[in-house]
Amino acid sequence: MPYRETGNLAYKQLCLLWNSAIWRMTKIAHLVKMVEMKRLFPICLIGVGILILLGSAGVWGYNQKVQHPSSAPLPDVVADLDLTESLMAERAITEFTRLHGEGFPITSGAVGMYGADHSATLWVAGAPLQPVAGRMLVAMRDKIASTAGRSPFSPVGERQDGTRTVYELDGMGQKHFYFQSGKMIVWLAVNPERAEEALTQVLKFYP
């Protein structure tokens, strides 16, 4: 064919012009990109700096909460029993970890005794995050299950309160219930005759 034998000068020139145009467009795009990068680079640096500051502030705040825990809330009355004695913050956390084990960061705590003869007792421990509280609950459940026969607590069963699970135990002449409330773990020990009333009120206080 004539085209294959002699070529087409117009076509070749068009190709050259097209390639030249593409090269120029590529160069312009590269220059624009460089300008945009130079313009955005300081903004990116500022953004990274802000993230570092926020992260540092978060770590500092976390450490402060763990090192200087606050008091967790307690109801004034449980099953017609008045709050007669309480431990707050660090003292409560010491008591909680003594009875229920260590290994998790606790940022708030409270222990409340109700009635003249301490017919009911509440232990409350707060975690920095809700998922951490969830892991605390599972760890407590697994520890009790693994020490069956050697622990003063005997698992009785579970019940549902909405979407959360309430674990029930017997031990030391009382009924025991423990569950998660947001970032907190709540443990209730109460004499059997007041157990259902006390649990209903405590679940309402710690939704």
The pLDDT, as a whole number, for residue 18 is 52
Cα dihedral 93/95/98/100 (nearest 10): -70
Q: The CATH number of 70-205 is which of 1.10.1760, 3.30.2010, 3.40.1000, 2.40.128? A: 3.40.1000
CA nearest to 100, candidates 160, 166, 174, 153: 153
Q: Please give the chain's pLDDT, 207 residues, in tens.
A: 443 444 445 555 555 555 555 555 565 555 555 555 556 556 655 655 555 544 444 444 444 445 668 999 999 999 999 999 999 988 878 877 766 555 678 899 999 999 999 999 999 999 999 999 999 999 989 988 888 778 888 999 999 999 999 999 999 999 999 999 999 999 999 999 999 999 999 999 999
The pLDDT, as a whole number, for residue 31 is 52
The pLDDT, as a whole number, for residue 147 is 84
C-alpha dist (Å) from residue 30 to 20, 23, 87 = 15, 10, 67
Domain boundaries, the chain: 2-67, 70-205
Q: What angle do CA 104, 102, 172 make, to 5 degrees?
A: 125
Residue 153, token pair as written in the block: 């607590």
The pLDDT, as a whole number, for residue 41 is 54
The pLDDT, as a whole number, for residue 64 is 47
User: Is the pTM for the entire model greater than 0.75?
Assistant: no
The pLDDT, as a whole number, for residue 60 is 40
